A and B are shown apart, each in its own frame.
Chain A
């Protein structure tokens, strides 16, 4: 022991009887009881039909739905991120028209339910029967397409998910940008960096630390929310299962199949998110 710091009278030990926490024990006992009941019903209630669950878990139609869910999530999320960054930068523009436009976008897409937006996109042809490319306000039109052909259920699903996600991500990216101290921007300006370069090389990389965790949450949330597009009859994970149980009436087992897959995917994404977060936290 370090003699300079210690007291030569020896230690005055504490050998006390621990305080009791009876309510904690009661709560724990209740939880154990409920868990035991749940497990027992899993094992003994024949209506779970576990054999059906396992027979469908790796079925081709389910796996195809799963892949579609993943693709839809990835593509919508990617488009949402790109549009979200653009909206966030616009939101911070000194030009009121630009920041106002971004604000209105966010207001609209966050203020209406995604399910409504999806159905809206699906029915876009009712509002704009033809969609064309040309000079507006009576100018010549180079090409035009039947909106019904252009807006397939898949396009409607992608548009609905991506445009809605962009509104949320814009706010997340904005929060990240604002979190970077003003001194960083000033130092960059003094060095001779343009605003664009400052944003790309100095601000956004530092904002990532704030942006990544909630974006991970949004991705996980998107994975689950994409099940909403089942209303557009897109055979993603949920709708693939619905097709099966509408035929076989094995509703509960197939919903369990779907839930197992969602749980596996969200768990995997959570793990990936943790790794990315550690990577961006390096310098802090």
Chain B
């Protein structure tokens, strides 16, 4: 079953073309890693998927639902804010800089989605938060504020916060790039466990090792297009495109 379909996605900032026709199809349960040099458009593409960025042309569907617009006949209507927020609630996102809500404790961060977006009962949301934080190994940090946590711990809270909405799709935007090297492992471990549980994930990353071991598909982006797409064994071991070869020789 196709969970995400992106078709001919174009995006520009003024004269700067960031995405030049990106196509991608992700099946439910798949883990897709987006690799590529900085400025290749990987993160921008990720942010287009949940409409944090508005695309210039193309279509993105999640679970058959068009993102950001409603189609009636051959006309497109821009969705209002509430409808866009509802769509975003179905998609979890993890940021490079964690972006935990600074005025909330770890548990409150994880409760934020269920309580503020879905209007769930606080007690139930708290129970769920305890469960999720236990799952990411932070059962002892429930009442810690973000500034009291290490980067790796903050990122694990951020993952739990996204999971609390039971998202159909999880987007990871360079989740380990802001971490000290010794903290990268704990975050990747949580992501690996998620993948094993069958969570559909799109991961923008520089961790080629993670891509090789966990990804079902690896896409290599450069200058706004997907140059290469396939199972990691193919793309990482025998890249066909010379630019993929050049990139991999630098990061491996």
Give residues in A with beta carbon < 8 Å to B: 181, 183-184, 186-195, 197, 201-202, 205-206, 283-284
Contact = CB atoms under 8 A, between A and B. Distances in A.
Given A183-B97, A183-B99, A184-B101, A191 B89 contact: yes
A228 B101 CA distance: 43
Interface stretch (B3-11, B68-76, B78-86, B214-222): B78-86
A190 B100 CA distance: 12
B147 A284 contact: yes
A186 B88 CA distance: 11
Given A183-B95, A186-B95, A201-B116, A192 B89 contact: yes
B102 interface: yes
A197 to B, nearest CB: 6
B100 A187 contact: yes
B117 interface: yes
Interface residues of B, number: 30
A186 to B, nearest CB: 6
Given A184-B102, A205-B103, A191 B52 contact: no
B210 interface: no
Given A186-B52, A192-B89, A197-B116, A284 B102 contact: yes
Contacts of B132: none
B103 A191 contact: no
Given A187-B100, A192-B85, A201-B112, 5 more contacts: A187-B158, A191-B112, A191-B113, A192-B88, A194-B82
A283 B145 contact: yes
A261 B28 CA distance: 72
A251 B95 CA distance: 67
A interface, by DSSP: helix, strand, loop or mixed? helix
A187 B99 contact: yes
A197 B112 CA distance: 11
A66 B117 CA distance: 47
B250 to A, nearest CB: 29
A190 B81 contact: no
Nearest to A183: B99
A189 B145 CA distance: 21
A284 to B, nearest CB: 7
Contact of B101 (A189, A192, A202, A284): A202
A231 B173 CA distance: 62
A176 B117 CA distance: 24
A195 B81 contact: yes
B97 A190 contact: no
B155 interface: no
Contacts of A189: 52, 85, 88
A191 B165 contact: yes
29 contacts: A181-B99, A183-B99, A184-B102, A186-B99, A187-B95, A187-B100, A187-B101, A189-B52, A189-B88, A190-B93, A190-B95, A190-B162, A191-B88, A191-B89, A191-B113, A191-B116, A191-B161, A191-B165, A192-B90, A192-B117, A192-B165, A193-B112, A194-B81, A197-B117, A205-B103, A206-B102, A206-B103, A283-B102, A283-B145
A205 B99 CA distance: 16
Which of A191, A194, A283, A284 is packed against the most chain B CB atoms within 10 Å? A191
Interface string B95-115: 101011111100000001100
Nearest to A195: B81
